[in-house]
Amino acid sequence: MSNEAEIRKRKIYHVTFVGFVVNLVLSLLKLAAGVLGRSGAMVADAVHSFSDLATDVVVIAFARISAKPRDPGHDYGHGKYETLATIIISLALGVVGAGILLNSIEGIRVVVEGGSLPRPGAVALIAAVVSILAKEILYRYTVREGRALQSPSVVANAWHHRSDALSSLGTLAGIGCAYFLGAKWRIADPIAALIVAVFIFKIAFDLIRTGLGELLEQSLPEDVEQEILAIVTSNPEIREPHNLRTRRIGASIAIEVHVRMDGQMTVEHSHALTVEIERRLRARFGEGTMIAIHVEPVK
């Protein structure tokens, strides 16, 4: 394993472990607050936080695998394992969203049919505020580190943190209405949870779409490919780039392109030009960028 890959793996471990510890403390806090405060919404929120613990374990496990160097069985390395981790986290988000959706519909049904929801205790209200603040801070920290590391699974995990903050926000609204405004306002709890579920489904859908695009060898965005072509042709001796193929492999990208050069040029000089192209591309897109350049004579 290269030194760069080892450093990256350690940073992913660190940011994920921080999230794991925060999630563990919050999950236990919210579960206790839900039981003591007689709040079903807070207990559900605690279950949501416990789901974050599972995704933290997934990120740690897959970061170790994806950081492995290429071997005879994996010519392009193991970066797709990180993409697989992103999809697993996205599916977990979808499951959590479905659970919140079903619980909120049941709560609304109870009120519509003339029933009443229990009044939560103040401890549940305080726990919701603490959860929102802690999870939003954790989201901002994790998404910043994930983008700096170009790690899709860490960014996905950050969104899972924010989904927990959104869930707690809905819980806070419901608990606040039930606590301060009386029984007739307690339907606000399941309504807020319903809105949160929609947000969670949207996040899960976007992450799954991105992850599947990578697994299915989707090309890089058009503006990125145009930037690649501009770098390739920055030297006037390099002409007519064609057959450009791009894809993402975990945190890295792969680039294949054909170029034309003067047919009378020496092999040594054409090789030096391709090495310079590779240097420029890696300076822009990272040292882990996989590049294949095929040289053809000008027709």
> DSSP H helical segments within 113-218, as ranges?
122-149, 152-180, 188-215
Amino acid present at 167: S
pLDDT value of residue 157: 80
What value does the mean pLDDT take over residues 55-75? Answer: 71
Domain count, the chain: 2
The encoded tokens of residue 92 equal 């977990």
Same domain, 232 and 189: no
The encoded tokens of residue 262 equal 């003067």
Each residue's pLDDT tens digit, 132-176: 999 999 999 999 999 888 787 788 888 878 878 887 887 888 888
pLDDT value of residue 188: 80
**226: domain range?**
222-297
Same domain, 179 and 133: yes
- Residue 52 scores a pLDDT above 70: no
Q: Considering 183, 215, 247, which residue would you say is the last residue of a domain? A: 215
Query: Which of 101-105, 189-193, 281-285 is predicted least confidently?
Result: 189-193
Same domain, 227 and 112: no
Same domain, 103 and 204: yes
Confidence grade of residue 230 (pLDDT, cut at 50, 70, 90)? very high
- Residue 112 scores a pLDDT above 90: no
- Residue 76 scores a pLDDT above 90: no
Same domain, 196 and 230: no
- Residue 41 scores a pLDDT above 60: yes
pLDDT value of residue 2: 60
Place of tokens 């802690």: 134
Same domain, 34 and 115: yes
132 close to 168: Cβ distance less than 8 angstroms: yes
Same domain, 138 and 231: no
Same domain, 90 and 147: yes
Place of tokens 């890089």: 220
Same domain, 15 and 30: yes
Question: Any idea what the CATH number is for the domain that residue 158 is in?
Answer: 1.20.1510.10
Same domain, 96 and 9: yes
12 close to 151: Cβ distance less than 8 angstroms: yes
Confidence grade of residue 268 (pLDDT, cut at 50, 70, 90)? very high
Q: Considering 156, 191, 215, which residue would you say is the last residue of a domain? A: 215
Same domain, 28 and 144: yes
Each residue's pLDDT tens digit, 10-38: 888 888 888 888 888 998 998 899 889 87
Same domain, 204 and 258: no
User: pTM of the entire structure?
Assistant: 0.66
Q: Considering 172, 189, 215, which residue would you say is the last residue of a domain? A: 215
DSSP state of 118: P
What value does the mean pLDDT take over residues 265-288? Answer: 91
Instruction: Please state, in angstroms and rounded to a whole number, the distance separating the CA atoms of residues 236 and 272.
Output: 14
